[in-house]
Amino acid sequence: MREQLLHLLFPYVCLVCQKLLLPDEEYCCSSCKETFDPFRTPSEAENVLRQTIVSHFGEHFPFERGWCRYQFHKKSALQQVLHSMKYEGLFNLGTSFGRQLGEWMLSEGDIGDIECIVPVPLHRLKRTERSYNQSEKIAEGLAQSLKRPVHSGLLVRKRYTVSQTGLSVEGRKTNSEGAFLAAKDVRGCHVLLVDDVVTTGATMAAAAQALREGGAEKVSLAAVAVAAKE
Ligand SMILES: [Zn+2]
């Protein structure tokens, strides 16, 4: 908390180690950034996402394609940075992560027939409490790189779910199931669903299910990070 407060007061210090940032550094100095664990290629990331989700949901990977920039480790600098993005008001970080993720997605070819970008929504009460949705910020950054529109209103959260942190795999599934609803007609669309971190994939799977029930033809996913096997 102290660190985040410092960053708000002094935006030119690293969010993690508090060293002064160089002019080309944003939020986090390059030595802290070097401890992030990026995937080498988008295909490598897609395989890890696939394995993570399949290991929790059986053989079926409920997505057309999947992209993700980093492996997420507990107590890492990346965790600290993502936490600030989510809870400490540093929402521009989300846009920046989204833009970089988008550029990286395009580095291995095009993204096919994806028509629009849909962030995983927060319940309206949670959104009011936090004043922004970090996934929406990531989606906005992705839109800048991918040149596709963001349609935030397509998906809504019907239930106020408890935080997934600390829940078991089963708990996460029950907590997320039926939590979402496609609010508008998505018939025939290929939607890119966006969240910050994929842990078991329960939230993404429930959101994708709602989009499919709303008529979406294909759902792909993009996240900043996927939890590494500890
Ligand atoms: Zn640093």
Q: Is residue 69 part of a domain?
A: yes
* d(CA 129, ligand 1 centre) in Å: 29
Distance 168 CA to ligand 1 centre (A): 33
Residue 134 lies in a domain: yes
Query: Looking at the domain assignment, is residue 181 inside a domain?
Result: yes
- Give the Cβ contact number of residue 115 at 10 Å: 17
Model confidence pLDDT, tens digit, residues 36-81: 999 999 999 999 999 999 988 877 888 999 999 999 999 999 999 9
pTM score, whole prediction: 0.88
Query: If DSSP codes are grouped into helix, strand and coil, which group holds residue 24?
Result: coil
Mean pLDDT of 2-19: 74
Per-residue pLDDT at 230 = 67
CA of 7 to the centre of ligand 1 (A): 12
Q: Ligand 1 centroid to 132 CA: how many Å?
A: 26
In a domain, 58, yes or no: yes
* Residue 105 belongs to a domain: no
CA of 93 to the centre of ligand 1 (A): 15
pLDDT at 95 over 80: yes
Tell how far the Cα of 36 is from the centroid of ligand 1, in angstroms.
11
Q: Quick one: pLDDT band at residue 123, thresholds 50, 70, 90?
A: confident
pLDDT above 70 for 145 = yes
Name the domain count of the chain.
1
What sign does the dihedral 37-205-98-166 (CA atoms) show? negative
Tell whether 7 is covered by a domain: no
3-state secondary structure of 51: helix
How much distance in Å is there from the Cα of 77 to the middle of ligand 1? Answer: 8
User: What distance in angstroms lies between residue 105's CA and the mean position of ligand 1's atoms?
Assistant: 26
Q: Say how many Å lie between the CA of residue 11 and the centre of ligand 1.
A: 13
Q: Average pLDDT in the 74-91 region?
A: 90
Domain of residue 154 covers 37-73+112-227
Find the CATH number of the domain harbouring 60. Answer: 3.40.50
Query: Does residue 207 lie in a domain region?
Result: yes
Instruction: Note whether residue 15 is domain-resident.
Output: no
Q: Pick the residue with more confidence: 5 or 228?
A: 228
How many residues are listed for the chain in this entry?
230
Residue 128 alpha carbon to ligand 1 centre in Å: 31
